[in-house]
Structure 1
Amino acid sequence: MPTTQIQIDPEGDVLIILPVDKPGVKPKLSNSPGSPTVKHFLCSKKHLTLASPRAAKIFSSSFKEASKQDDGFHHWIFEAIFDAEAFELVLRIIHGKTREIPQVIELDVLAAIASITDDLQCHDALYYFSHRWMSSFHGVFGSRLPEAMNKTLAQFILISFVFEHVRLFQDSTKTAIRFSDGVIPTFELPIRADIL
């Protein structure tokens, strides 16, 4: 299985292992040498536990992630449900490696970052960048929201909930209710059932 190692912290003690291909989905360029199927992010346990209550619980527990493996690193293995580019951005922010963080990002990437942020519970660490990125969508908020229940509207619901943008959350959920027939679809986004 081809792997790529990305050094978030060259002196790190945690390998975050993220499969790139989703199970059951055939890669676009199957087995091409330039397409890794797993990414290893070398990270600092200290940074992770300070930024993420979830990481703090995992590394202070009896889970296997709390013990170093034979290679001398803690291994934290994730399912293939997260976007690797977004995951790398979140890890760079957590580690204070912000020079390479883009000032403006696409809505799909912001939704992926929101999913990771919610999973890792690292909302505080992402606060500044999330609000900066959301401000680049300022013209979309309010009257410029989609006038149909579609993936874009679901992304705005997820983003506004995770990053606590009250006005956008209220506007996007009202719009979703108005344009949905009963159950509001999530378009495979990790939107919590209790907010719909």
Structure 2
Amino acid sequence: MSQLSQIDTPTPYKIDPDGDIILHTPDYLFIDAAKGAVPGNYARFLVSSRHLALASPYFKAMLRDCWAEGSTLLERGSAEIPVKECKPDTLLIVLNLIHGRHRRVPQKLSLQQLTDIAVATDFFQCHEAVEIAASNWKAALQPSEIEMSHLTEDTIKWIMIASVFDFRDTLKKVTQIASKKEQVL
């Protein structure tokens, strides 16, 4: 590796200092330090393949030796994997939950952040690792009856969140709103 590429490649944020995988989000800008609890601008994360495989069937399959990522991990003892499907701030939260770093997880999220977490959770199939935090975030964001009286973009976000995390009461409310034929976005 040349000196230039070493300078251009930022040090990964260490979720697991003894990790053997670097996940990175090449299609997104770095996390803005002013917006989160990450000291610096990071879009690369040092994590544990064991934690990933235990929490996520997606990563478990990817890290088998029949796939390039798994072969690289087996041969070199480490691997670097792009994660194009997730924003860095969303990935950071999900990875902290997967690794049991609950003190590093925000106690409250915006509706859009919770929607992004739901999408990532569903994609990575790591529902069990995220569900308790999601329940807490939902409780802090619970939509009011007024907000839930007509179809909006937020209603659609709640459908996604409730479907992914199996929030049955919320799903029932929001699907009833969405099913009213006279409503338009």
Tell me the equivalent position of 1:90. 94
Structure 1: runs of 5 or more not aligned: 23-34, 186-196
Tell me the equivalent position of 1:157. 159
In structure 1, how many angstroms separate the alpha carbons of the residues matched to 2:121 and 2:154?
19
In structure 1, how many angstroms separate the alpha carbons of the residues matched to 2:57 and 2:77?
23
- Aligned pairs for 1:148-187 (under 5 A) are 148-178=150-180, 180=183
Count how many residue pairs are aligned between Structure 1 and Structure 2: 166
Aligned residue identity for 1:14: I
In structure 1, how many angstroms separate the alpha carbons of the residues matched to 2:65 and 2:179?
41
Contact 2:24 2:45 in 1 (8 A): yes
In structure 1, how many angstroms separate the alpha carbons of the residues matched to 2:133 and 2:14?
21
- Aligned pairs for 1:1-196 (under 5 A) are 3-4=9-10, 5-21=12-28, 39-68=43-72, 72-79=77-84, 81-138=85-142, 140-141=143-144, 143-178=145-180, 180=183
Question: When the two structures are superposed, what TM-score results if normalisation uses the length of structure 1?
Answer: 0.75
In structure 2, how many angstroms separate the alpha carbons of the residues matched to 1:155 and 1:118?
14
Contact 2:72 2:79 in 1 (8 A): yes
SS of equivalent to 1:105: coil
CA drift of 1:50 comes to 0.7
In structure 1, how many angstroms separate the alpha carbons of the residues matched to 2:178 and 2:162?
13
* Root mean square deviation, CA, Å: 2.5
Identity within the alignment, %: 27
CA drift of 1:147 comes to 4.4
SS of equivalent to 2:43: strand
In structure 2, how many angstroms separate the alpha carbons of the residues matched to 1:88 and 1:124?
17
Contact 1:17 1:41 in 2 (8 A): yes
CA drift of 1:72 comes to 4.7
Q: Which has the higher helix share?
A: 2
In structure 2, how many angstroms separate the alpha carbons of the residues matched to 1:61 and 1:150?
45
SS of equivalent to 2:179: helix
Deviations 1:104-152 (A, max 9, x none): 11111111111110011000011110111111123x15x2334443321
Aligned residue identity for 1:17: H
Contact 1:12 1:43 in 2 (8 A): yes
In structure 1, how many angstroms separate the alpha carbons of the residues matched to 2:108 and 2:61?
32
Contact 1:20 1:39 in 2 (8 A): no
SS of equivalent to 1:167: helix
In structure 2, how many angstroms separate the alpha carbons of the residues matched to 1:67 and 1:41?
20
SS of equivalent to 1:99: helix
Deviations 1:51-82 (A, max 9, x none): 11111111125111112269752222222x42
CA drift of 1:21 comes to 2.6
Contact 2:28 2:88 in 1 (8 A): no
Contact 2:16 2:99 in 1 (8 A): yes
